[in-house]
Amino acid sequence: MGWLEAVALAGVRVTAFVIIAPPFGHNAIPMRIKAMLGVGLAIAVAPRVTGDYVPREIGPFLLSLTGELVIGLTLGFLVMLAFSAVQSAGSMIDLFGGFQLAQGFDPMSMINGAQFSKLFHLVALALLFATDGYQVVLGGLFRSFGAIPVGEGLDLPANGELFLDGLGQMFLSALQIAAPLIVVLFLADAGLGLLTRVAPALNAFALGFPLKILLTIVFAGVVVSALPGIVAALTGDAVTALLGVR
């Protein structure tokens, strides 16, 4: 019974993590597949979690299940926060490039954005699978069982600084990813403004929209080509965040 209890607690943590954390949190993966994946990973990690576990009564065990659910969702949220930088960078490019008017809700990714926001999100997910980055993320999840054994609670107040730091890093990373293209678009706006001063009869505003869209499409390839290294760095940041939870 002790083995079953420990595996059940580990399964709740892993399943909650898989439901929310990328790349497994994508709605293209059915919920039953996520549940089966969580159970399979819990059985795989069983030798790590069953060694020091002490069986409990029904009440404390149900309380521990709730605690493991909170831990899994917390760890998944930290990973999602790290990779949201790529999507946020796409949103910034859509905003400054003039694509924000064509935004829409994607029910598969559960994001509301325009073309580059969705493109960057899908490219990041594809790179996680193609470069085996998901295995690094799962490795960080498995190491969390050493920092927070099954059945132990999560000290949320102590991890408040970790959440705030992760949020700040997400915005900073998004700005760093989109910064080169944002600078180009800002210089284009400045050039159009100077052109309007020199030739007031020229309708610079009508010229600005197609020019910025052209610049965005041309220079977005540079940002996309840098995404493999960016996703690798974000994977490392996500694992560091997982290991910092206590």
pLDDT digits over 85-109, tens only? 888 888 888 888 877 776 777 776 6
pLDDT score of 182: 85
Mean pLDDT to the nearest integer, 234-242: 83
CB 138 within 8 A of CB 44: no
Q: Where are the alpha helices (DSSP H) in 22-159?
A: 31-44, 46-49, 58-97, 115-130, 133-147
Lowest mean pLDDT among 201-205, 206-210, 226-230, 232-236: 201-205
Report the C-alpha gap between 142 and 138 in whole angstroms.
6
Residue the block writes with tokens 């992760």: 166
Which of 43, 22, 241, 31 has the alpha carbon at shortest distance from 144? 241
Mean pLDDT of the chain: 82
Apex 151 CA angle, 146 and 154, nearest 5 = 75
Question: Does an H or E element contain 105, and which?
Answer: strand 104-106
Q: Can you give the pTM of this predicted structure?
A: 0.83
Question: Could you tell me the two tokens for 201?
Answer: 């009869």
